[in-house]
Structure 1
């Protein structure tokens, strides 16, 4: 059984799925910016030698990068394990145009009880927690 605080943390990660890859790449770039070149991120791609690009790729050992990609992969696997109905809920209400809605608003919009919408939430987050190895 997941605590409410754990569900909130998992939901936050799950909802920001589309940003996880970007955050992982930012972590790699941030780890490569040196103090003497604070404007390195502004330079065009022509400024980077093959060696510099290789070093960036080698930074996949970066812990922040690994953490973000682990979460990204777990979210993808969890979504694939969901029923078609729950996939639609994820796509529309967690990642789509109505991602700003809370679970009570989702219940109203889907014309189901609050209990049903919270059961959906629990199933989605439990599946995600299983993929992360937290259950």
Structure 2
């Protein structure tokens, strides 16, 4: 029997996919390992994020938010603003101390009001150690004085 180059590639790719797939299928989700936080009774979150550009992104975001609420009992309100309005809304919320609990903002926004943000170093260090560290650029945007004041999104 003669093997072509395509046969070798197909067989190798299939074997690799099978080996990796069985590892992930038989193990718990990666997000379930590690830090555990217990929400306070009656806890609620308000999140500010940009208006969706792609409907599939919005659908998946809302499905994930629903799963989070089901898993934790924490109700999540999602406020959406255009890209142009995120920065001023976030700055007002941070400086007034009222508004969203979590915000998707531009990279440098946490440095505009760092004293208004919670130290999330425990989570930032945990994620960095679990996934092989942070690239220097995103880490610089996310930290101030050696503490995480935000988390890079991607």
Larger relative contact order (C-alpha < 8 A, sep ≥ 6)?
1
Higher strand share: 2
Larger Rg: 2
Settle same-fold status: TM greater than 0.5: no
Range into which the TM-score falls when normalised by the shorter chain: under 0.3
Higher helix share: 1
TM-score by length of 2: 0.19
